[in-house]
A = this chain, B = another copy of it.
Amino acid sequence: MPAPGPESVERVFDGTRISVEVEHWPGGARREIVRHPGATAAVVRLGDRVVLVRQLREAVRRVLLEVPAGTRDVPGESPEETIRREIREETGYLATRLEQLGSILTTPGFTDERIELYVAWVEDPPGPPEEEGIEVAVVPFAEAVAMAEDGRIEDAKSVAALLLLARRTEADAAP
């Protein structure tokens, strides 16, 4: 269904990562919208295990466990190139294979951010991670899925990616 456009758009914040617009739509709706360049994320498979990252998320004042991910903030870089680079920078691992897993809109009530989800396969040994402040955690895939189910992993892209892969894996394994 084609959507109409707004009658007016006012840029109220212009940041380095996000910008904010106030839009007035036909019918009178006023919307506060965060514009975001989009991101990529991957369930990184190391055999039967997955490579996760733990980092401070200033927005929630806490350290969170997530799948490796990165904003699409390099001009001209494809999402596949972005996620390969981010996996290497955050975990030290090189992705030998990449497969699309899905694509989510993180919270379309107020932002256009889309995250492209992948499965990446990596092998030991990793090189040195390049980003400071990120701790790498390698856990069994089944344990990561359990973490997404019981709340130890709360980040929506990580929950979606792990559960999507769990379904795909179980479908492949079904008789």
Contact = CB atoms under 8 A, between A and B. Distances in A.
A135 B142 CA distance: 38
Interface in A1-15: 1, 3, 5-6, 12-13, 15
Oligomer copy total: 2
Interface string A102-141: 1111111111111100000000000000000000000000
Contact of A149 (B39, B60, B167): B167
B109 A57 contact: yes
A98 interface: no
A56 B167 CA distance: 29
| Range class of the A interface residue count | 35 or more
A113 to B, nearest CB: 6
A58 B29 contact: yes
A59 B33 contact: yes
Interface string A157-171: 101100110111000
Chain A interface helix/strand/loop/mixed: mixed
Interface string A61-101: 11110100101000000000000000000000000000000
Interface of A: 1, 3, 5-6, 12-13, 15-18, 20, 22-23, 25, 29-34, 36, 39, 56-64, 66, 69, 71, 102-115, 148-149, 151, 154-157, 159-160, 163-164, 166-168
